[in-house]
Structure formats: structure tokens, C-alpha cells
Structure 1
């Protein structure tokens, strides 16, 4: 017959066994895997998130970048629409357009003469008579040399009813025409050129600057020019494009053809 003390011992032993069994069960229970936030059940109204791999696949494909060593595409420059001296073909019914530009023509060399003996005798005589009349200081001494009618010397590029002597006086800076006489001497003291050989316009012309491009003048020739005109006049001539001061022309037969200023 068991006593109460034995029953208490039996009860305690049973509790110990149950506790041991419960701990063993807890140790051997399977561990549930942890879920990612994206795998958890979403609440109503939330947008489900896709796994990272699926998001990468769904992302738009960006434009393929060029390799770093690839050079940029270079396009050739277009040809000029209109070339110098070229006729442009227009569509039917329109007039062709021709450019005004022309190739630069080479400058014709000019032979400058200083030896008056190379001119015909009639030219040398007329030149000497003009020099003597101008050196006298009396402009009236030019009158018989200037001719009359069809042989009258041209002294102005503008038509006038006055006689040549009166016209020259009007061009002079003084009332007696002394300045014009001085210009005559200065011009005839320079070199000259022979132009128009074999034509009706054959002439011996002073100064040679009238027939030579100013851009081709040498330093000594510029000095010779500045004995006739001022530096300001020379600058104006360069802008104008040619010599435009007084010039003298004598035909091979000794006729004093012109003494004019201007182009």
C-alpha cells in the first residue's frame, strides 16, 4: 500500500519526464524558412513588388552605347554651289545664272623709256617745244602748239566752248596758268611709254604711270610719282585703281593729242 509520500514522488517523476519530452520535441521541430518582404502577403491597396531578377528583365533596354574608341562620324563638306566663272544649270523654264567673277588676268609688263632718242624725230621736237614754252612762264606760248579744229589738243575730258589756253588757265590754281606750266614740266621729266603700236591709237605717253599698274611700282618709281602728286593723291589713286592725274600724249607724227587729268 503506497503512502502519500510515495505518491508525491511518483507525481514529481512524471512531471520531470514530461518536461524532458517537451524540450526534446522543441529541439527537433523543423525550422520554417524566412520569407523575403516581397514574398509576404500584401495588404489590400498595395502594389506587389517583383523580385529583383524579374524587375531587371522588365526594365526597358537602353540604346547600345558606342565603344569608347569609336570616332564620331565625319561628313564631307559640300561643294560650293557656284564656282568661279561657272554656269549654273537651272531647272527647265528658268534662265541660267552666270557668275560675274572672272579669273584674274596677268598684268602686261610695260616698257618704260627714259631715252628720248628712242622716240621719232617729230615726237622729240614737239616735246622740246612744250618744255620751252612751259619754262618761259607765259602760257600764251602754248597756243600755237595746241592746234585748231580737228587737230586741237584735248585739254579737258568735259566739252567746253572755251579755247584750250583759257581752259588750262581755269584749271590752274592761279589766274595766269603758272601752275599748269609747272605740271607740264614735271610730267615731261618722267619716263614715257609707247602704246598702240601699229594701230590708229599709237601714241607716246607721259608719265608712264598712266599705263603701268600702281601695284607694280618699285620704291624708286614711287619716289618719281610723288614728285608729281602728293602722298594723299597716291592713296586716292590706289583706291581708284589707276593713275588719274595729268598725262600727255603725242602721236608719232608729232601732233600734241591730249593734256588731260582724270581717267
Structure 2
């Protein structure tokens, strides 16, 4: 049985009507009488089975207050960067390695993030230190020569001695040398090759007639290298050589020599026209062309020591 509404109940109905117009609830309140006669407020059932879900307006404003976040998820204060966890970089791949398996997910690291402002330590040297050999007492250490360039000073090139001067002055020869030259010329002009035997010497002091040495009789060898059987051609060559100019080698040394013709001590490419005429008295133009390719005079020459010994009469390079 319904009873008349009291003031509190009427206030509840008015309040429920105000709440019904807000977007937060679709339920109304009514006063219900319990068995003991007390009035209570309760929701009014929607009419005709209407939906009981709450209706939310499109222009509803979000609540002014949000629930507090967990301390671990709270945003960092403005102006101060928060801690950032950086996953460790994978190790460099070895040559031929296709890299880590994509199916293996990297395991998060709990190591602290390195400070970017900290200095980077220098890498350790991987080279094996050199072990210096002990230096004996009194031993001098080798001196390293700096490479050329910059302030380095290049060592001067060794000086090349100029060629000995050419001379035709027989009176300038030492007496032993002039005497031996005259004896050889007289034997050669005689046409008798045997007259050279006493001048050629014997034993260790024997005149060199071939760069490869002579086996057997020296006069027989001269006849063999001559264009004729009697050796007159070789005698003619010998006289022509001694009548040309000469050069003086190694003055004051143990190897001092007077050599005919002077072409032996000169560059054939620098000969003057007059000198070429003198050369062609001894060799042909074909021989001269061959010598230019060789780069030296390689025909017969005569050498006499300062004490008058006949040192050699040879041809060849």
C-alpha cells in the first residue's frame, strides 16, 4: 500500500530527476515502504523494458581528475630527461657471418647506462712490444737515415773522375815507357813476328795476349790470330795502335799504365771528326758501328807500365 510522500522522499525524487538529466546515470529514484514502515529510495525500473545501459553524451567532458600513476610510470619532471634504458648493441659480425638469428629476441640488459660525459678509455695496444737486443760495450748503434723529403738532406752523388787527357807527345813519356814502345815498333815494322819474342817476357811477367790466357807458344798464337800465316797483319795492327795518341791511367797508383790508342779511355760518341779519321786507320766503319752499340772501344790496345814492361796486347771487351 502506497503512503503519502514525506519531505525527505520528495527531495529524493527531485534529486533523482536531476540526476536522470545528467550523462552519468539513466536511473530514477522512488520512495519505497518497507514492512516496518520506513521509506527508502530506490531505482525506478525503465518503462516497457527499455535498455538499462548508461547513455553517454558525445560532448561529454572527461573527468577533471585522473587516478594517480604508479611511481615507476610517473612522467619525468619538465626540463629534466628521465632515465632511458638502452638495449646493448649486438657484437660485430665476423666475416661470412649472416648476423644473429632474427628469431632470437634480444634479452633486455639490467646494466646501467654509461655516462655520455665520461672520457672514453684508450684502446689497449695489440702489438707485441719490440725486444731490443743488448748492446755490447763499445758497440755502435746503427744510425737510421731519414727518407728524402721535407728537411732531409740528400747525400751528394759520388764524383765521377774526368777521363784522362789525350796526348800525342812521345817526349812526355817516361824513358822506360818510350824505350819499350820504340822496340815494339821496330819489330812490327820489320815484318818478322819472331822479333817480338824477347819483348813479350816469360813466366808471371809475360805479356797478356788474350783475356782468356794463351796455351802454348806466344808467337804461334800471334800467327793464329793474324789473317795471314806469317803474322804480318797482326804486326800492322800493332804498329798502327802505337802510332796513335795515348792516355795515362792511374797516375801514382800500382795500376798506373800508359795505354794506346787513346780511344780505349774515351767515349766513342764524343769523338771529333779529326779523331774519327785517326780511329778509321785502325778499325773499319763497320767495327765503329758495332762498338757504338757496345759502348766502348774493344779492338786491340797496348799497355806499358811506368817501368817499361809490356803489360798487354789484347782485343775484346
> What is the distance in 2 between the residues matched to 1:105 and 1:225?
29
Structure 2 partner of 1:155:
209
Distance apart, 1:110 and its partner CA? 3.0
Greater gyration radius: 2
SS at match of 1:126: helix
- Larger RCO: Structure 1 or Structure 2 (Cα < 8 Å, ≥ 6 residues apart)? 1
> What is the distance in 2 between the residues matched to 1:198 and 1:206?
19
Distance apart, 1:159 and its partner CA? 2.1
Distance apart, 1:191 and its partner CA? 0.2
Query: Using a 3 Å threshold, how does the CA distance of structure 1 residues 220 and 203 change in structure 2: closer, same or farther?
Result: same
Is the Cα–Cα contact under 8 Å of residues 241 and 300 in structure 2 kept in the other structure? yes
Query: Using a 3 Å threshold, how does the CA distance of structure 1 residues 220 and 104 change in structure 2: closer, same or farther?
Result: farther
> What is the distance in 1 between the residues matched to 2:214 and 2:270?
36
Structure 2 partner of 1:139:
193
Counterpart selection for 1:173 from 227, 233, 237: 227
Is the Cα–Cα contact under 8 Å of residues 163 and 265 in structure 2 kept in the other structure? no
Describe the superposition over 1:111-137 as per-residue Cα deviations: whole angstroms up to 9, x where unpaired.
101011111000000000001000000
Structure 2 partner of 1:196:
250
- 1:252 is the counterpart of 2:284: no
* Bigger share in helix: 1
> What is the distance in 1 between the residues matched to 2:159 and 2:266?
15
Point out 4+ residue stretches in structure 1 off by more than 4 angstroms.
103-107
Aligned residues: 163
Query: Using a 3 Å threshold, how does the CA distance of structure 1 residues 200 and 105 change in structure 2: closer, same or farther?
Result: closer
Q: TM-score, structure 2 length as denominator? A: 0.49
Distance apart, 1:216 and its partner CA? 1.3
- 1:225 is the counterpart of 2:279: yes
SS at match of 1:204: strand
> What is the distance in 1 between the residues matched to 2:245 and 2:231?
24
Q: TM-score, structure 1 length as denominator? A: 0.59
Structure 1 partner of 2:53:
none
Unaligned regions of 5+ residues in structure 1, if any?
A: 1-86, 89-102
Distance apart, 1:109 and its partner CA? 3.5
